[in-house]
Amino acid sequence: MDDDDLIELRALFLDECRENIDLLEAGLMRMGEGEVDADTLNEVFRAAHSIKGGGATFGFVPMSELTHHMETLLDAMRSGRRVVDEAGVDLLLEGLDLVQALLEGASEDPATDHDERASLQSRLEASVGEAGPEGKSTGEGTGAGGADTSSEGGGTSAPAASPRERWSIDFRPHENFFVRGHDPLLLLAELDRLGDCRVSLDTAGLPPLATLEPAKSHLAWRIEIECEQNRDGLAAVFDWVDQDCDVVIEPLEPTPLAAGAPEPAPTPVDAPSPESPSTPSPAPASAGATDLPNAGANVVPLTGAAARTVPKESGGKGGASRAGESASIRIPTEKIDQLIDLVGELVITQSMLSRVAENIGELDVDELRERLADLEHNTRDLQESVMQVRMLPLSSAFSRLPRLVRDLSKKLGKDIELVLEGGETELDKTVLERMIDPLVHLVRNSLDHGLEPPEERLSAGKDPRGQLVLSAKQESGSVNIRISDDGRGIDTARILEKARTQGIVPEDETLSEEQIRQLIFAPGFSTATTVSDVSGRGVGMDVVRRNINDLGGRVRIGSERGAGTSIDISLPLSLAILDGQLVGIAGQTFVVPILAIVETLEVRETEMRRVPGVGVVARFRGEYLPVVDVADAFSLSGTPKRELIVVVETHGQRRGLLVDGVLGQQQVVIKPLERNYKPVTGIAGATIMSDGSVALILDPAAITGEEDALPTAA
């Protein structure tokens, strides 16, 4: 196996590890809420097991060791030897955090980490012995690399749950087993740890000594095991190696087994039990995957190893791991199939058009028109489908919130219920990934400042349990996310006062309620009387709004004193495409996002005057609207005709944009200028028109003066 394979495998492992961590967390959270069923427990156990195994293989030895301890505790829980209680779950969550830190290599001080890990490991160990039906400690397993071949005494404590079953496992590593980095001994040891084993060796595959290549695996084993595992549990042992061996697991009659050491006799495997026929290995291609649940059926497999254990809800989940933006994405096969179909149709239309061109002598104009209409149809369908591919459900952004709320409410001594709605709503992958931090921040804010502690709520006549609702909904062209709580509400008086003190708002200026609430987003602004490490430093909210604006979205705050606060975020469905209004300015074509346009006025019918200190204003609906002369502000070389005013609005701020005239409307693909150049004030990007020329897209926020303001006409 060469270096490229190793690098690729390692990247795969990291991806899968992160998913397993997410799975583990979700499962643990459910367990913490009291949902303790066999499926969840097994799922959680298997996730931990995978992390442990993979970790050892790829050199994450401390992480693997830690996970091993977690696995031991989880094993005790799932076999009933230990009950699932909050203390146990908390401990496991703590362990999981450290596992993640070790995986991402975020270690700043290895010595502290080591101590932390040692402490955690011993606490996990101790926890195994607690709260069990017999209070008996089952002892510690060996470290990840240990080869413990002594069989554990079976049946030491009467298990509360699963009965012991007998299985026959036929284990045939492929020739390249060692080369792939696996060691059959570890697997045998693992099986031995799970129950009582009787192992027999099959040396039928051994070549003569003279031709023996030590690096190749020629041996096979037959293991009879009596344990509390079901087939899945046994198959899990071979999870990481299933590509490189053949494993057949079959049930045996439950007859008592004598515990014993592996038989050294090099005899071919015979069939000792009446139930199991001598099992020929299945074709190598199917490997051990036959026994594994096919949960990932609707997910495009990266390799066999990666396709497993993906529960349905995260079938569409992107590689948007907690580590931040990632370069890969998981796509349901249906989306890919649809794309293939659409491309097929496009190819057909194209060949039909070619035929028309070939027979240009006898051109049938109607047919040409029809084919061109088909082409337009195909292209549009394909475009929609491709954009759909980048869409992921919001639930992947919501997934970390339950844990956050749980931990934070405990820390703050508040009782808070988190309600998530509309998780199936889909958003562009990049938008989604960039929304995670703002969402987290807004939730923290709500928990910290908005929701009151139980005593305060009670005295206000409220339910001591506060409620935080996150809901998402798609509405014509945009996705709306609402974060609302039933807490204190926003004290606008205090905000205004603070803003005046900080000089953000001049003394004589009056603001509407909405405008005061928007002050929360001002940089450096914070009304928190104390700075907790959760929030209060005043650097968060302005970044939140900027992040949302950068994505082309908007954020609004609504609030009622004593009743609660709700924050509404609307995000465009796509970062790349925008509905644009083409306008001419000084002979050049510009694009104005339609969403920002309120109305268009004719200059000659509009009263305009020059106000000192402000500039030119136009009369609009009883108000005076400052006017921006882009031709002037951009120093354009052409001669502006200045015949129309396009009224542009962002966040309640309005300005007039002076243009020559309006051209058409069209959907426009946004191409950032930063790719080869750099950001330009007033310009949101560029696009390519149908004649091949480049048109610049105006930034509505710059026009209205909200951000990076353009000057008003003099």
Partner 1 sequence: MEAMKTDVGEVPATADQYLTFLLGTEEYGVEILKVQEIKSWTSLTPLPNAPEYLLGVINLRGAIVPVVDLKVRFGLDEEEEPGNGRVIVIVRVGEETAQTRIVGLVVDRVSEVYHLEPSAIQEGVDSRGALDQDYVRGIGQIDNKMVILVNLEPIVSSSLDAHLGAAETAE
Binding site for partner 1 (CB under 8 A): 588, 633-637, 671-673, 675-678, 680-683, 686, 688, 692-696
Which residues does 676 contact at the CB level (< 8 Å), separation at least 6?
none
Cβ 700 to partner 1, closest distance in Å? 15
Cβ 688 to partner 1, closest distance in Å? 5
- Burial class for 538, CB neighbours closer than 10 Å (0-12, 13-18, 19+): middle
Give me the residue label for tokens 């829980």: 77
Cβ 548 to partner 1, closest distance in Å? 23
Nearest to 335 by CA among 318, 350, 353: 318
For partner 1, the closer CB: 139 or 638: 638
Rounded distance, CA 428 to CA 383, Å? 14
Cβ 676 to partner 1, closest distance in Å? 5
Cβ 327 to partner 1, closest distance in Å? 13
For partner 1, the closer CB: 358 or 677: 677
314 within 8 A of 398, measured Cβ to Cβ: no
Rounded distance, CA 628 to CA 510, Å? 24
For partner 1, the closer CB: 28 or 702: 702
Cβ 658 to partner 1, closest distance in Å? 15
For partner 1, the closer CB: 424 or 674: 674
Give me the residue label for tokens 């953000």: 504
Give me the residue label for tokens 């934070």: 408
Rounded distance, CA 153 to CA 144, Å? 21
Nearest to 590 by CA among 656, 661, 649: 661
Cβ 687 to partner 1, closest distance in Å? 9
668 within 8 A of 677, measured Cβ to Cβ: no
Cβ 671 to partner 1, closest distance in Å? 5
Rounded distance, CA 6 to CA 180, Å? 9
Going by the DSSP 8-state scheme, the letter that residue 152 receives in this structure is P
Amino acid at 521: F
Rounded distance, CA 182 to CA 9, Å? 14
Cβ 695 to partner 1, closest distance in Å? 7
Tell me the H-state helices in 390-428: 395-398, 401-412
Rounded distance, CA 292 to CA 308, Å? 8
Rounded distance, CA 406 to CA 408, Å? 6
194 within 8 A of 225, measured Cβ to Cβ: yes
Cβ 634 to partner 1, closest distance in Å? 3
504 within 8 A of 511, measured Cβ to Cβ: no
182 within 8 A of 215, measured Cβ to Cβ: no
249 within 8 A of 186, measured Cβ to Cβ: no
Cβ 379 to partner 1, closest distance in Å? 15
Rounded distance, CA 263 to CA 229, Å? 23
For partner 1, the closer CB: 504 or 680: 680
